[in-house]
Amino acid sequence: MPLNSPMDNPAAMNNAFARKLLSTPEKFDVYREQTTSFRAKFGREMGPDDPFFFDPDADTPQFRAIEDASYAIDQIALLMGQAGIDPAAIYAFKKTRGLFPTADRRLNDDEMTEWVGAMNEYHRKFSMTAEQ
């Protein structure tokens, strides 16, 4: 079913993912893996100013290089799946390299077009699979 706007998909628009992650982060594999890796690498707990997706090759906590953005997007998509976000929204998040509309983060016209296109692509691909 084609979408005209992200508002057509409330699961993509709510922030239940963020609320769930912030209330129980230790339940998420990606969170545990990142904090465990951070502790092993730097010998201390990750602090509020430390990068969550840190550079594992750096001697001090630093953000990964921009070339590694796909790593963060993939890890966030895993978190989204574990938090129960709509698979179409996860597909669109990855396809658009990180776009995710929320009540607090409105997309501009170009972003909206890209997001809706990705959502529609998901529905075309997976509704055809389900029908076969």
Asked whether the beta carbons of 116 and 36 are under 8 A apart, the reply is no
> pLDDT tens-digit profile of 32-69?
888 999 999 999 999 888 988 899 999 999 998 888 88
CB 127 within 8 A of CB 7: no
**Res 28 pLDDT > 90:** no
- For residue 44 the two structure tokens come to 């201390």
AA identity, residue 82: Q
More confident residue, 132 or 68: 68
For 40-49, letters b (16+ CB in 10 Å) and e give ebbeeebeee
